[in-house]
Structures are given as C-alpha cells and as structure tokens.
C-alpha cells in the first residue's frame, strides 16, 4: 500500500498524451491511486509502443472502456462517484459531448475536483484550435526569448509548455483544489492551460523587463546567453561546460580558477565589452578537457557543471548518490520528485498496457462479477 503524501487520494485519469499523463505520473509518484481509463483503441493515443518505455504511464493501473457506449459512460460515473479527482486533456467540449462534463460529474460527486488540461484554455478565441507545446510557448512570449543573439528562437524541447507550464500546473491545481474541497465539501473545475502556465513560469523575466533590466533581443540579457559569465563553453575535447557566475563573489572564483584574476579584463557588468570577455573565456576553456575543468571547478562556488548527455547524467556521482534516476522494468528514468522526509514518493508499478487491469481495478472500485459480465455483454469493456 502506498505511503506517499497523497496516499488515499483516488484519481481518474482519462487517457491522453503529454501533459495529462505527466500530471498523472506526478500524482501517482506521490502515492495517489490513479486509475487510467483508456479508450478501447488505445493505439490511437500513441500507446502502441512497448509499455515499459512509456515512462509517463508508470505507477497506475489501466482499464479500457468504450465511452461511446452508454454502459461505459454509466460505469465511468460509478468510478467518478468514488473518486477525489478526475483529469482530462481533450479540447473544450469533448467531455461534455460524452456526457462526462463537469456538471454531469458533479451531479454524482459534488466534491469532485475536475482537472482540465488544454493548450489554449477552456475559453478565448483560440480555445478550440489545435496546437502543441511550441505554439503555446510562442504565444506566451517565452519562445521569443530563448536563443542566441542574431539567431532564431530555439524550442527548449517540450519542457516549458507540455510539462512545466502544463502537467505540473495541473498537478498543482488539482492538489490545491483537493485541499480546498476538504474544507468546503465542494469540488470545482481546474482550468490548466499551457499558455497560462508558460507565461507564469516567465514571471521573473516579465518583472525584470518592467524594471528595464531585460530587453526583447534574444541572447542579450543576463540569463539567456547574453552575459559571458552565464553561458555554455566548449572544452578542448569538444564537450561543454555550464558557467553561472552571476554574483560578484562567484565571478571572482571564476576568474581565480581560470587563472584570469590578474588579467586586465573588462568589468563584469560592462555590457559594451561582453564580447571581449566572452572571447577570453572561450579561449581559456578550450585549453583543457571537460574532465580537467571538472577536477578544477566542480563543487566550488564558481557555479559550474559539466553539460551531460541523457546517457551520462544517470551515472554522475551526485545523481547516483541522491538516487535522482531509478530503473523500472529495465528502463532508466528520473525518480519521483520532490523528496519527502516522512512520506516518500515511490513508483508502485511499471507502465501498464491499455486495459491491462480492467477487471481487477473495476472490482477494487466496487464492481461485482455480475456488473463486469453485464459490461462485457454490452460491449463497454476493452
């Protein structure tokens, strides 16, 4: 039985892709009993890969229901009646057309937290348009700000929209609403939009821009590779290191450990001479390998780290010591985060095949053998 901080919380996940499963993974990692409801043709959701590689699907059981049948919709409402929360990631109106919109669900469970994950939000002129992470972070102003000076914007994988601004904000919203429901006895809708979440992640940057400390030119600011003391440098062996020596004391350490502290260099914040300072740092860092710079700088106050590949990161001594990465069903993947001192999160099971636990899970959620026979006869089960 799970002992994570969300142990005892029951969540229905209407299967989707990207940020919805990421939210469900976060909740399951923290001990929630998350039941994924897959459609009977789950391959349409991109789940035809070997399940063990579907890391976002870890930690929960799967039932397969054909929600185009009245019997399956009725079964869903039975599940919802015993749930604390539901999360879904369809375009606005889809769940309503299935007869499972918020009002339908509140009718059977007034305490339900109804989490909705979309790109554009539940309303607004673009609410029903298709999109992906890259589009949502573009509209939020974030994508414009990421990239080298003089170059085009660079998509930061799909971390900012799908996972940071999407799934993580949905998980936060669901837990907030669950806490409120314990006091009020009433559920509510959580409208998590990736464009909203991406904008929220950039709150500090918008603040700096309002202060005149940030401009709209890419690669010209202190945190976007504009500053030479906050950038990535190539080493002698073609690898890279990351430097983040923002504070004066840390910048002093950078100069000391590179041997530049006696050089006639530009002042740290003399922006007009940043290119000159960058050229000097580029020259110095090319004189040693990444491993040599690690021996000199790792663990110091330079604010230094080697730039590791996805293959290298799990093997780094710090990540190994903390157990940042774990292995589940032979697949190396990030472990649950954040950490809890008394009720640690865990991964209770590997990713499931669509419908793998249909009868087992439905029995645990209160369905009898007769109920299951009737659902099979009516074509509701996958």
Which of 273, 306, 339 terminates a domain? The answer is 306
Active site residue 269: no
Q: What's the rounded mean pLDDT across residues 345-366?
A: 96
Q: In which band, very low, low, confident or very high, does the pLDDT at 45 lie, cut at 50, 70 and 90?
A: very low
Which of 248, 277, 306 terminates a domain? The answer is 306
Q: What's the rounded mean pLDDT across residues 24-28?
A: 98
Q: What's the rounded mean pLDDT across residues 9-33?
A: 97
Q: What's the rounded mean pLDDT across residues 119-144?
A: 97
A 10 A CB-CB count for 39 gives 21
In this structure, are 174 and 249 located in the same domain? Answer: no
Per-residue pLDDT of 238-285, as tens digits, reads: 999 999 999 999 999 999 999 999 899 999 999 999 999 999 999 999
Q: For the purposes of burial, counting CB atoms within 10 Å of the CB of 218, is it exposed (0-12), middle (13-18) or buried (19 or more)?
A: buried
Kindly state whether residue 258 falls inside one of the protein's structural domains.
yes
C-beta contacts of 336-339 below 8 A and 24+ residues apart = 336/4, 336/29, 336/30, 337/29
Per-residue pLDDT of 317-350, as tens digits, reads: 999 999 999 999 999 999 999 999 999 999 999 9
Kindly state whether residue 94 falls inside one of the protein's structural domains.
yes
In this structure, are 42 and 175 located in the same domain? Answer: yes
Kindly state whether residue 268 falls inside one of the protein's structural domains.
yes
pLDDT of residue 151: 97
Q: In which band, very low, low, confident or very high, does the pLDDT at 48 lie, cut at 50, 70 and 90?
A: low
Report the percent of the chain where pLDDT is more than 90: 95
Kindly state whether residue 216 falls inside one of the protein's structural domains.
no
In this structure, are 132 and 163 located in the same domain? Answer: yes
| pTM score, whole prediction | 0.95
In this structure, are 135 and 65 located in the same domain? Answer: yes
Which of 279, 306, 333 terminates a domain? The answer is 306
Indicate if the pLDDT at residue 47 is higher than 90: no
pLDDT of residue 43: 44
Indicate if the pLDDT at residue 30 is higher than 70: yes
pLDDT of residue 1: 56
Q: In which band, very low, low, confident or very high, does the pLDDT at 191 lie, cut at 50, 70 and 90?
A: very high
Q: In which band, very low, low, confident or very high, does the pLDDT at 66 lie, cut at 50, 70 and 90?
A: very high
CATH code of 255's domain: 3.30.1540.10
In this structure, are 91 and 172 located in the same domain? Answer: yes
In this structure, are 195 and 254 located in the same domain? Answer: no
In this structure, are 157 and 301 located in the same domain? Answer: no
Identify the active-site residue in 29, 84, 133, 162.
Answer: 162
In this structure, are 195 and 255 located in the same domain? Answer: no
Kindly state whether residue 209 falls inside one of the protein's structural domains.
no
Indicate if the pLDDT at residue 128 is higher than 60: yes
CATH code of 15's domain: 3.40.50.10540
Kindly state whether residue 115 falls inside one of the protein's structural domains.
yes
In this structure, are 301 and 342 located in the same domain? Answer: no
DSSP line for 311-348: TTGGGSHHHHHHT-EEEETTEEEE---S--SSS-----
Indicate if the pLDDT at residue 2 is higher than 70: no
Mean pLDDT of the chain, nearest integer: 96
- Number of structural domains in the chain: 2
Active site residue 162: yes
Kindly state whether residue 5 falls inside one of the protein's structural domains.
no
Is 183 in a helix, a strand, or coil?
Answer: helix
Report the C-alpha gap between 299 and 277 in whole angstroms: 24
Of 86, 65, 79, the closest CA to residue 11 belongs to 86
Tokens in use for 41? 């043709």
Domain span at residue 23?
Answer: 10-201+325-377
Q: What's the rounded mean pLDDT across residues 71-77?
A: 98
In this structure, are 267 and 364 located in the same domain? Answer: no
pLDDT of residue 46: 46
pLDDT of residue 179: 98
In this structure, are 95 and 125 located in the same domain? Answer: yes
Identify the active-site residue in 104, 132, 144, 240.
Answer: 132
Kindly state whether residue 251 falls inside one of the protein's structural domains.
yes
In this structure, are 166 and 264 located in the same domain? Answer: no
pLDDT of residue 44: 43
pLDDT of residue 12: 98
Q: In which band, very low, low, confident or very high, does the pLDDT at 3 lie, cut at 50, 70 and 90?
A: confident
pLDDT of residue 42: 53
């Amino acid at each position: 039985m799970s002992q994570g901080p969300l142990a005892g919380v029951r969540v229905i996940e209407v299967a989707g892709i990207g940020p919805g499963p990421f939210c469900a993974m976060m909740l399951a990692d923290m001990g929630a009993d998350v039941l994924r409801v897959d459609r009977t043709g789950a391959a349409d959701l991109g789940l035809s890969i070997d399940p063990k590689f579907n890391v976002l699907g870890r930690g929960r059981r799967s039932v397969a229901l054909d929600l185009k049948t009245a019997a399956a919709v009725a079964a869903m409402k039975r599940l919802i009646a015993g749930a604390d929360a539901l999360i879904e990631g369809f375009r606005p109106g889809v769940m309503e057309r299935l007869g499972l919109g918020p009002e339908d669900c509140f009718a059977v469970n007034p305490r339900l937290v109804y989490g909705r994950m979309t790109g554009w939000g539940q309303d607004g002129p673009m609410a029903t348009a298709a999109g992906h992470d890259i589009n949502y972070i573009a509209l939020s102003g974030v994508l414009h700000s990421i990239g080298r000076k003089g170059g085009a914007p660079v998509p930061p994988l799909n971390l900012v929209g799908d996972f940071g601004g999407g799934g993580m904000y949905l998980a936060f919203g669901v837990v907030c609403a669950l806490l409120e429901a314990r006091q009020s006895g009433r559920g509510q809708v959580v409208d998590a939009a990736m464009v909203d979440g991406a904008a929220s992640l950039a709150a500090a940057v918008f603040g700096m821009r309002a202060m005149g400390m940030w401009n709209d030119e890419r690669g010209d600011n202190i945190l976007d590779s504009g500053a030479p003391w906050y950038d990535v440098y190539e080493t002698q062996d073609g690898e890279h290191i990351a430097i983040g020596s923002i504070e004066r004391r840390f910048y002093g350490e950078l100069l000391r450990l590179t041997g530049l502290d006696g050089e006639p260099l530009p002042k740290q914040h003399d922006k007009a001479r940043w290119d000159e300072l960058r050229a000097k740092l580029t020259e110095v860092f090319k004189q040693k390998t990444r491993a040599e710079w690690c021996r000199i700088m790792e663990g110091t106050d330079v604010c230094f780290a080697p730039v590791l590949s996805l293959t290298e990161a799990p093997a780094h001594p710090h990540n190994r010591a903390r157990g940042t990465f774990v292995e589940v069903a032979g697949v190396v993947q990030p472990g649950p985060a954040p950490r809890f001192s008394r009720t640690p999160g865990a991964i209770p099971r590997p990713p499931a095949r669509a419908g793998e636990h249909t009868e087992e899970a439905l029995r645990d959620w209160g369905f009898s053998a007769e109920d299951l026979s009737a659902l099979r006869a009516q074509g509701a089960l996958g």
